[in-house]
Every structure is written in structure tokens, then in C-alpha cells.
Structure 1
């Protein structure tokens, strides 16, 4: 079968090779799936660079989520059968950017019937991360104001939709007019282009001086620092990642004086400590998708042969919406 493999760490165009490799086999507790669609995620870029928290041995195939069709099952599998359509996370070092891959049964979920393959493929990491951030870690309430950084990105766009579905007023911060228009399509109540406007006074004006109740921050750096200047009393800043490349150093005295919380989220740890919550999250997200309240907005569907270029553009910040590769 054909698969992309990182043969040396670096930027995606240099690190990746499109190669012929042996077909995988489902072992005990695993599913062998034919990949129907696999989205680009920022962790895939970090995997190529060797900057992700998981560091598979070289060579490896990136691609951290997918929608696929089960073509074989290993011993002990009870939740799925051949022919089922599933979404979820494949087993690195053989990720989703291949014609076939394997998944642990525990990391697979039924694909929502309301979504096509491309949209369903992008439902797991971004939406589960945003759901845990908003409903588990910050306890976002109806009527509160949610500020989302990188609101046109994979996890940011999910946070915008889930925030609106929860009844919050959503402010999206993006970089550039194309991303601003995309964010409006997601349903944000206010969209701010950080390249032309300072979001701090605009957030204060939108909230009549109160500030944002919840800040969803997958960027770090200046986005975090300036968010502390427009956070509400009893506000919550949830730290999701550092896509901006700079890890901020919080001033804990400032959090004390302004009475706000700084909250970390590592979604993957729930697989280790409370897997039942992940299943409950998928059930909730599926219900929202089936009701039409959320749906990944796929901006590009590309052939598998364009993975290296697509990931490179994502890493350079030149993409708008979700890119999905179709073998």
C-alpha cells in the first residue's frame, strides 16, 4: 500500500516521503481500516518536526485522526464488525496518511451518520479537545462570553461551534480577512482580525467592560498575555497549546489580584485516567452533529499525494478551515 513516512525530522516538505510499504495487520484488540478521509492537524506538523510530545521512531507515518471502513478485526474485538464506518485515532507509528492503518478498538467510535467521510474525519481531536475545555475544565455557562484564539483553526473552529451550541456569546480572533470570513460562517458573534485590530479594547467594548468569562487559548505567547488584560471577574483561561511557538510565563500575582483561573487541558490524558468521559463526549458531540448544531467546515479535499504540501501550508499558517486528504 501507499503511505507517507517521515524519514528525517524537519518541515513536512523535506521530512515526508510517499512510499510503498507492507499492508498492516489487525492484532488482538485492533481494527484494520481502509482510510476514507484523514484531516490535517497541527500535531502532524509537530510530529514531522520532532516537537510533539509523542516521538515515534523513524520512519513513521503521521496522521492523528481519520474516518475509515473496518476491513478486518483482531481477536477480542466486540464493538465493531467488518463494514462499519468509524472515526478516531490510529496507532502510531502507522498513522492515517496511508491507504490502510490500524486502530485500537478503544480509540475508535461510530462515525455519525449525519456527516460525510470528510466532515466525520475531523470530528474527534478538535471537537473532543474543545468539548473538554468548555464543558469539563471551564464549565462554560449559557449567556457567558467565550473568547477563542486561532478561531479559524482546527480546535479553535470547534470551540466556536461548541460555544454557540452551549448558548455562549462567542468572540473569535483570527489572522487575516479570509479567516475572518470563515469564522463568521462558524457562527461567531464578533470576529477580530488580530493583524489589523487590538482585541483587548474590542473585547471590553463588546462585554461592556466586563471582559471574557472564558478564554480558549491554543496559541500562547502574546495571545495569552493580552487575554489577561480582558478577562472577567471569576474568568477562566484554558491553555490548550502553544501554536504561536512561545510558552508564556503567567504572572500568578495578576491572577490573584484579578481573581481569574488558569486551567490546563491535556485531552489525551483522559484516555489514561477516565476513558468513560471520552465515550460520553463522543455521544454528546454526535448528538450535536445529528441535530445540525455543529459540523466541521472542510475547506479543501485533497488527494493523498498532496499530504506534504498540505501539512506545510498548515504549519506556515496559510490554510483556512479544515484540509482533508482522501486516499
Structure 2
């Protein structure tokens, strides 16, 4: 299969397209034929060697993706072969196939395009965790979002409004 591969830390131009072995499904994992992949700031940090997690070389960047399940490992029950899914898998998304943990793989509606689904798990997952799980945001509260022009910031504005908060956003420049 084809994959965009990082063999050393550096700028994005050090990535190379190569033929690599197709991943084999493992217990608790889901194999996905990738249709779209999200690109996040942490992906650029990872290939530069500046992210908190440093995968062993060679690796394919791409923390999140969407596509179709082609195989499921032992014990997987929430998705099946043929399901349309999005997944948060940490690395490996810039490839034709990726392995994702079952608990990071979610079915997507038939009317959700793959490109939108691929950009959903990381930023929306981060935002939901911050606002709901940690912040316990309630309807009627005021939510101040610094960096409202970035991925997580934009999601915080949207999710905060959906949760019934009054949202105030700040950005770093008039252009943003």
C-alpha cells in the first residue's frame, strides 16, 4: 500500500511517499480503508520531533481519518466490516489503510462526507472533553474562548453555543 512516511524529524518536505506493508488487524483494533485524513497542528509537531509522543521511525503521520472498515480484530463489537467510520488513531492516517482502536472508532451517518468526518475526532474530541467532561459547562453560563480562530477554538465556539452557553471569542489579530 502507499503511505506518506516520516523517516527523520524535520519540516513536512522530508516526508516521502512509499510502498509499505498493509497493516494486519489485531485484537481490539479496526482496519480502515482511508478515504480522507485530517491534518492537525500536532501532526506537524510530531514530524518535527516536538510533540509529546514520538513514534518510532519510520511512521506515517495522521492522527485522525475516515473511511470504510475492512476488518475487525477479536473482541470488536461496535463496528463491522463495511461500516463508514471516523477514527482517532494517533498516527498512520496518511496511508491507504490504518489500524485504529475500537474505542477511538465511530460510525458516521450516511450523509456525512468523508472529508468532514476526517477532521472531526481530534479537535471536537478535545473540545468536548474540555467543555463537558472537565469544565461541566451548563446552559446559561458564559464561555470565554481564547484562540477562537483555530481548530479547537472554532469547535469550542460551536459546541459552547450548542450547549446553551453565551460564547465570547478572542483572536490574535483583526484578520483572524
The two structures have a TM-score, normalised by structure 2, of 0.90
**Within 1, Cα distance between the matches of 2:33 and 2:135?**
37
**Within 2, Cα distance between the matches of 1:31 and 1:143?**
40
Partner of 2:47 in structure 1?
48
**Within 2, Cα distance between the matches of 1:77 and 1:134?**
29
**Within 2, Cα distance between the matches of 1:8 and 1:116?**
33
Matched, 1:97 2:94: yes
Specify whether residues 157 and 91 from structure 1 end up closer, same or farther in structure 2 by C-alpha distance, changes over 3 A only: closer
- The two structures, once aligned, show a CA RMSD in angstroms of 1.8
- Secondary structure of 2:46's partner? helix
Unaligned runs of 5+ in 1: 180-327
- Secondary structure of 1:103's partner? strand
Partner of 1:80 in structure 2?
79
Specify whether residues 91 and 159 from structure 1 end up closer, same or farther in structure 2 by C-alpha distance, changes over 3 A only: closer
Give the counterpart of 2:158 among 158, 161, 181.
161
Unaligned runs of 5+ in 2: none
Matched, 1:65 2:69: no
Contact 1:126 1:154 in 2 (8 A): yes
Counterparts in 2 of 1:1-327, with a 5 A limit?
A: 1-14=1-14, 16-90=15-89, 92=91, 95-176=92-173, 179=176
Task: Please list every run of at least 4 consecutive aligned residues from structure 1 whose deviation after the TM superposition is greater than 6 angstroms.
Answer: none
Partner of 1:272 in structure 2?
none
- Secondary structure of 2:25's partner? coil
- Secondary structure of 2:43's partner? helix
Greater helix share, 1 or 2? 1
- Secondary structure of 2:148's partner? coil
**Within 2, Cα distance between the matches of 1:36 and 1:68?**
5
**Within 2, Cα distance between the matches of 1:118 and 1:176?**
28
Higher radius of gyration, 1 or 2: 1
Give the C-alpha shift of residue 76 in structure 1: 2.9
